Amino acid sequence: MRSGSNRPGDETVRRKRAGVGKTSQTVYRTPLDQHPGAGEPVSTGRDRRSAALKNSRRGGLSERAYDHLKEMLVTGTVTDREWFQIDDIATQLDMSRQPVMDALRRLSTEGFVEIVPQVGCRPRRPDVNEIRDFFRLFAEGEAIIAELAAERAEPNVLLTMRLISAQIGALADQPEEVGGRADMYRSLNRQLHSEMRRAAHSASVAEIVESLGDRSDFYIACFKDRVFAPNLKIAHAEHEEIIEAIIARNPRKARSAMKKHISATEKRLEDSFRESPSGT
């Protein structure tokens, strides 16, 4: 017999190694594992964690599909005369069809997509009254942003606005034959309005108006070549008026200039809608 084999602590060590006499504190449960009946086997908790992780991954894939599809919608990559090629999109994003379908259902509830049973999914075409009503709301939201920006904008943000507007001005000077003008304008326009929201220093208002900006881009994407291309110089002049009012710290003038700009955009969009062969 080896010396020290009967030390009092030896039995405790052996019992711990065998898993005997362990207290509940040796199993660390996450909030996902908390439920009535906490005395279940540990393996069941692991199964639930595995299922939760699987659902989380699926949610992440659906979110990625959602972002991709929404970008297609707001840029006019797909129109209301085209059906989403779900298999192709799933392959492009390296995922199954299910996350893509989840994203399309979400976009349908948000009013961007029409789902036709047994046929497919396509961008939903708005009617002229919907466009008119939306832009009345959007104009008020952007007007509040401009008003707040005139009160709170910092010098560095004002400079950024000027630089982006100068880029829009340079783009407006390009001949209409230059390809991609509408897409470049959309990108710069979105950047400019994002800077105005940043200048407003009101996260809650900015978040709401930013979400409205997605819908505005979606409506405009239906007719972007007719809305943007012929009106870049006019839109640039409207932006300059807004920026000058913000720099001058004139909230009332900034608000008025922004409402005029958004209302003019709605009017150009409405005219394009009526000129469209499928417009009503």
Distances (CA, A) of 98 to 48, 62, 101, 105: 21, 8, 5, 11
Of the two residues 30 and 122, the one the predictor is more confident about is 122
pLDDT tens-place string over residues 112-129: 999 999 899 999 988 889
* Residue of 229, 225, 219, 221 whose CA lies nearest to 171: 229
- Residue at 43: amino acid letter: S
Side chain identity at residue 271, one-letter code: D
**Of 28-37, 189-198, 239-248, which range is least confident?**
28-37
CA–chain centroid gap for 200, Å, is 20
Percentage of the chain modeled with pLDDT above 90: 56
- The CATH code that applies to domain 45-123 is 1.10.10.10
pLDDT of the residue at 40: 38
pLDDT at 21 over 60: no
Fold of 128-269: Four Helix Bundle (Hemerythrin (Met), subunit A) (1.20.120)
Helices in the chain by DSSP H: which ranges? 8-17, 42-74, 86-92, 97-109, 128-152, 155-172, 181-200, 203-221, 224-227, 232-247, 251-275
Between 17-26, 198-207, 218-227, 238-247, the lowest mean confidence (pLDDT) is in 17-26
Q: What is the DSSP letter of 114?
A: E
pLDDT at site 78: 87
Model confidence pLDDT, tens digit, residues 76-92: 888 888 999 999 999 99
For residue 43, pLDDT over 60 is answered with no
What pTM, to 2 d.p., does this model score?
A: 0.71
Residue 35: pLDDT band (50, 70, 90) is very low
Domains of the chain by residue range: 45-123, 128-269
Distance, in Å, from the CA atom of 208 to the CA atom of 198, rounded to the nearest integer, reads: 13
Neighbours of 162 (CB within 10 A): 16
